[in-house]
Amino acid sequence: MALLLQRLFDGLFNSAIYASLAISLVFIYRATGLLNFAQGEMATFSAYVGFLLLRPTEVILAGSGLIGILPGLPWPVPLAIVGAVLFGMAAGAGTERLLIRPLEGRPLLSVVNVSIGLLITINALSTELWTTSPRSFPSPFPSANGDFFAVGDARLRFESIGVWITLLVVLGLLGLFLHRSKAGLAFRAITANRESAQLVGVNVGRTLLIGWAVAAGLGALAASLVADAVLLEPNMMIRLLIYSFAAATIGGLDSPGGAVVGALIVGLTQTLVPGYVPFIGTEISLLPPLVAMLIVLLVKPTGLFGSRRVERV
Amino acid sequence: MRRPPTALLVALAGLIVLPMVTDPIQLRRYAGLIVLSLGVLGVVVATGHAGLISLGHGVFVGLGAFSMATFLDDFSLPFLVALPMSFLFTSMVGWLLGLPALRIKGIYLALVTLGMAIIFPALSKQFPNQTGGVSGRAVDARFDPPPWTGLSADQSVLWRYGFCILVCGLMFWMTNNVLKGRMGRAMQAVRDDETSAAGFGIHLPRVKAGAFGLSAGLAGVSGALQVILFPFVSHEQFTVFLSFRLYAAALLGGVATMIGAIYGVLALVLIPAVNNGLNLLENDVLVFGIGLILLTFVSPDGIAGLLSRATGSDNTKSFWRNVKGRYSG
């Protein structure tokens, strides 16, 4: 019983991380019909930038003038995460403007190539700049050994609670942005019908730029929050990306709420299934979500909460 | 008679010169890269000709290698039997995995194949009897030159090199024939427009799954040949980055033509060679990534397209003008 509860708690923590990344994937998919394979690597890179603000002396770029430009380094953890998120947003916006927008109207293969190219490039760049040795990125929440609520014999860690609260706050802000701001309205208009939105004077380019920035910022946040649990290293997000894609697919690729539900399903099966099915050890905990994703794509490609698209020939 | 393409001549000359200018250890390393050309060719068949975006061909290279090791050591099959068996085995797996591709299209297929590539190393560790599990598996069988060649045992690298080149050449020739024939035309029709292809009486499931099977089999042979060159297999050789490398090489060369596959192989061999020679980067995969992004803007049909436009002989038949948006589905 305690074990079951513990697995539930661990699964919930994972789900929160997958949910953030899945939402950022959904965000871009809704507006552009594009799956950004580089989302995870962009997030890792941003987390490294946060790490740089946190431990300026521990990484290669230290002493290259950066310490002089930014005051008061090293920064406290929450501020460093804000820095990572801001960097991520800028990088996301830059990617949209420089690499994605020029590809408008080009075949899908071009866009896939650019996002795969980005994935490879950023991953290699992280390796080149910061080496593959894992680094510990402290959590902004109390995460010492004793920081947990004891529920029976299971431990509900403060860190998990903190991550969930952060996620809920961010989701709330995102909702406010989408439904209460002019840019959000424009974003929803583009999602609903791009051409009509353009006709009524929505600045599509600028709105998508904002969308990419928000998505990349979310990714950076997810990477910074998970870095304490999985250790910061260049390949950290590759596996996470597949979990998040699975979450987004299961929930329906164009539904943010669905992404959260999908993330819960993925996160919980990831911790529960290996515990009860011996063949699926923790090593291949990726298998169940992948199979689930495959089944969803085969049987109900719109996912649980996605909207159906009518295709005309 | 039509003049053979320059790329082919350059590649052939390189293959002949290579053993003369390298020592056995280098030769073996280059041979390991050259046999990956079949993996690149697999991507060209699946992605370029059948329109099935595959980011997971490293999986089939791995399956080919593991099955070759199993056929050689566990079933004690001779090399010349084990090799075609590996081809058949990986083709069959590819065909089975191609079945979902009948429903999953475009970017979703890219996603599923990417997932496959990521999970493959971990999954292969679950079968330690075939793959050697965590530590990998040493293969006992050795592919040594038979007495009639007059080669001594320490010249066996040369013999293996020659054999691998021969097999690669054979596979390229076979694939070229398939692509030029009825099956190849059917694949391109499906790539360009599924609905009208079906309207012309093309059996979509057969063509798509068949194309995926063939392309997987090609990648499998490259894995099997690696076992001939290096008698050791391990999950570490078949990470997602192998798949990325194959995909990037195919796209760099030009994914729509056979010539493109040859340029892709040149990139696959030359980029690591130059990088190691000059000691530039920790990991040369960076070059593949940047190249992939740049070429998408500069020349979507790869080096093959770039060169054919530069020389004015437009023999790549601008695939990109034909497919406009057809990859979405």
Residue of chain B nearest A34, judged by CA positions: B107
Select the highest-mean-pLDDT range: A54-58, A153-157, B13-17. B13-17
pLDDT at position B329, please? 36
pLDDT at position B328, please? 41
Domain count, chain B: 1
For chain A, give the percent of residues with pLDDT over 70: 90
CA distance A234 to B298: 29
Which residues on chain B are in Cβ contact (under 8 Å) with A290? 115-116, 119
Of B47, B111, B296, which is closest to A110 when you measure between CB atoms? Answer: B296
Cβ–Cβ of A35/B111 closer than 8 Å? yes
Q: How distant is the Cα of B229 from the closest Cα of chain A, in angstroms? A: 28
CA distance B108 to A246: 11
Mean model confidence pLDDT for chain B: 85
Report the range of poorest mean pLDDT among A307-311, B199-203, B222-226: A307-311
pLDDT at position A71, please? 65
pLDDT at position B44, please? 92
Of the pLDDT bands very low, low, confident and very high (cuts 50, 70, 90), residue B84 is very high
**Helix segments in chain B, DSSP class H:** 6-21, 24-35, 37-43, 57-69, 79-98, 106-124, 128-131, 156-180, 182-192, 194-199, 204-229, 240-253, 258-278, 285-298, 302-310, 319-323
Pairing of strands A148-151, B137-138: unpaired
pLDDT at B325 over 50: no
- One-letter amino acid for residue B310 of the chain: A
Cβ–Cβ of B55/A117 closer than 8 Å? no
**CATH, residue B55:** 1.10.3470
Which residues on chain A are in Cβ contact (under 8 Å) with B285? 120, 123-124
Nearest CA among B51, B52, B11, B6 for reference residue B315: B6
Helices and strands (DSSP H and E) totals, chain A:
12, 2
| Coil vs helix vs strand at A138 | coil
Residue of chain A nearest B248, judged by CA positions: A117
**Token digits for B226?**
């690696």
Of the pLDDT bands very low, low, confident and very high (cuts 50, 70, 90), residue A87 is very high
pLDDT at position A174, please? 87
Three-state secondary structure of B26-62: HHHHHHHHHHCHHHHHHHHHHHHHCCCCCCCHHHHHH
Average pLDDT of span A264-290? 78
- Residue B296 resides in a domain: yes
Cβ–Cβ of A290/B281 closer than 8 Å? no
For chain A, give the percent of residues with pLDDT over 90: 21
CA terminus-to-terminus distance, chain A: 54
Query: Taking the CB of residue A269, how many other CB atoms lie within 10 A of it?
Result: 19
Average pLDDT of span A185-205? 88
CB–CB contacts below 8 A, A to B = 139
Residue B194 domain boundaries: 6-320
Tens digit of each residue's pLDDT (9 = 90 or more) over B269-324? 888 888 877 777 777 888 999 999 998 888 888 888 887 777 765 544 444 444 44
Q: How distant is the Cα of A243 from the closest Cα of chain B, in angstroms? A: 9
Cβ–Cβ of B114/A293 closer than 8 Å? no
pLDDT at position B312, please? 63
Query: Taking the CB of residue A171, how many other CB atoms lie within 10 A of it?
Result: 17
Q: Angle at which helices A108-130 and A39-54 pack, to 10 degrees?
A: 30
pLDDT at position B214, please? 95
A293 lies within 8 A of chain B by CB: yes
pLDDT at position A66, please? 58
Q: How distant is the Cα of B290 from the closest Cα of chain A, in angstroms? A: 6
CA distance A63 to A45: 19
A52 lies within 8 A of chain B by CB: no
- Residue B226 resides in a domain: yes
pLDDT at position A283, please? 66
Report the range of poorest mean pLDDT among A181-190, B13-22, B168-177, B229-238: B13-22
pLDDT at position A65, please? 57
Per-domain residue ranges of chain A: 15-234
- Residue B30 resides in a domain: yes
Cβ-count burial of A282 within 10 angstroms (0-12 exposed, 13-18 middle, 19+ buried)? exposed
Listed as own residue / partner, the contacts of B149-158 with beta carbons closer than 8 Å and 24 or more positions apart are B154/B24, B157/B24, B157/B27, B157/B28, B157/B31, B158/B19, B158/B24, B158/B27
Cβ–Cβ of B289/A128 closer than 8 Å? no
A118 lies within 8 A of chain B by CB: yes
Cβ–Cβ of B289/A118 closer than 8 Å? yes
- Residue B181 resides in a domain: yes
Q: How far is CA A302 from the centre of its chain?
A: 21
H/E element, B232: strand B232-233
Residue of chain A nearest B52, judged by CA positions: A109
> Look-up: residue for tokens 């997971």?
B56
Tens digit of each residue's pLDDT (9 = 90 or more) over B120-150? 988 888 888 888 888 888 888 888 777 777 7
pLDDT at A293 over 80: yes
Average pLDDT of span A172-185? 88
The answer to whether the CB of B140 falls within 8 A of the CB of B85 is no
| Coil vs helix vs strand at B250 | helix
- Residue B126 resides in a domain: yes
Above 0.90 for ipTM, yes or no? no
Tens digit of each residue's pLDDT (9 = 90 or more) over A216-262? 999 999 999 888 888 888 888 888 888 899 999 888 887 888 888 99
Tens digit of each residue's pLDDT (9 = 90 or more) over A117-165? 999 999 999 888 888 888 888 888 877 777 777 777 777 888 888 888 9
Residue of chain A nearest B245, judged by CA positions: A120
- Residue B328 resides in a domain: no
The answer to whether the CB of B219 falls within 8 A of the CB of B93 is no
